[in-house]
Every structure is written in C-alpha cells, then in structure tokens.
Amino acid sequence: MNCKICNKPTISFIDKRNNWEFFHCQKCEFIFKNPKNYVDKTNELKQYSHHNNTMESSGYVEMFKKFINFIFKPYTQDIKTALEFGSGPGPVLSELLKQKGLKVDIYDKYFSPQKVYENKKYDLITSTEVIEHIQNPLEVFELFSNHIKKDGYLALMTQFHKNKEENFKKWWYKNDPTHICFFRPYTFEVLANMNGFEVLSNDLIKSVLLKKV
C-alpha cells in the first residue's frame, strides 16, 4: 500500500499484541493502520466518550496550559480568533483560550458536529489528540489550510513515534484502537510543504506549530 501522504511505497508489519497491520513510509516517516483493522463508529464513539475531562481535571488543564504556552510565548501578537478542531466531550482548551481573550469556535465529529468553520478563516486552529484518529490526513490538512488566514497558525498535538518498527511495537500510544495515524516532526514538514504552511517549531515529543504562508 502506498503512503497516504506522499504516495511512496511503504513497508508492512504486524503488531502481534493486537494482530493489527501497519504501513511505514520510509520517505515521510508516516505510519498508518490497515483500514481492515479500524473499529466501527459505535466503538469509536464509545472510546471517545471515555475522554470526559473537564476544567476540574487538574492534570488535563495543566497539559493544555503548557500547550498554550508553546503556541503563545513566541507568537502572542495578532491571534484573536480560533477554532478548536476536535474538541471532544469536554472542550477544555477552548475555555482556556477564551480566558486569554480569544473568540473561539469548536467543532467535533461527534460532540459538536455543526461545521461552524464554513465560510470562516481563523488566526489560529488547534487540534489536540485528534489527527491520530483521522483516516485521511491530506483532507484534514486541506481543510486547515482553507480556514486559516494568511500568517495564521496551526497548532497540533499528537505523540510522535520513534520511526523504528521495534520501538513502535512496544509503544503504548498505538494500542488505542481508534489511533490509526502516527506522525514524526518530519512528516509535518512534508504536510506543511504540500499545504502552504511552514513549520515554526516542535517540541520533539508531541506538539508542532505551523504558520500559513
């Protein structure tokens, strides 16, 4: 199977723990699960419903505060509007952004399905612990590109894999049955070049910030 991002040939391997097949692109370092191993929508929603964190969840709030600092410390100017893409059942990040004075819209496939972003462009789009669930990252990056203003920002959070099959097989993050796409910092360089962004920074662990050019 060719890579879903760069269309280059991939290497197939089996995770024996779950008997899932994955494809590893040596060109853009993207790893994705065989669609035959996806869960159905009922079980997907059931898994998402477990993510019921709120503003009272101190660890969850602290994680997002660090993420906001990652975005805003170097780039505080000109961010007034934002879209939280994939807010989940408890849109904690959007509340924290509102506390910073931003006007924030939220969208979620299951919990806030109205496509409020249509006919709008934002200074900032955030998507945290979402893109690992997306079947076609090219489509969602095109959506991001269409709805971010020139010189606006895209801030993403997802755990970066180590780019080695033996490490991936031991990795806790791939055991979530709804996680189907796995990225490296370089993968985002490729996606940025394809969609009119530049990568400004990444923390080498799970966060990356891009700018629309």
Q: Are 18 and 175 in contact (CB under 8 A)?
A: yes
What does the alpha-carbon distance between residue 201 and residue 204 come to, in Å, rounded to a whole number?
Answer: 9
pLDDT at 86: 93
Long-range contacts of 17-23 (CB under 8 A, 24+ apart): 17/169, 17/175, 18/175, 18/177, 20/174, 22/168, 22/174
Element (H, E) at 66: helix 58-72
What does the alpha-carbon distance between residue 155 and residue 67 come to, in Å, rounded to a whole number?
Answer: 9
The tokens for 178 are 């709804």
- Count Cβ neighbours within 10 Å for each residue of 119-153 and write b for 16 or more, e otherwise: eeebbbbbbbbbbbbbeebeebbebbbebbeeebb
CATH topology for 10-212 is: Rossmann fold (3.40.50)
Q: Where are the domains of the chain?
A: 10-212
The tokens for 98 are 């509102």
pLDDT at 91: 81
pLDDT means per 10 residues in the chain (213 residues)?
97 96 98 97 82 68 89 76 91 91 94 96 96 96 97 96 96 96 98 97 95 95
pLDDT at 56: 65
pLDDT at 81: 96
By residue count, the chain amounts to 213
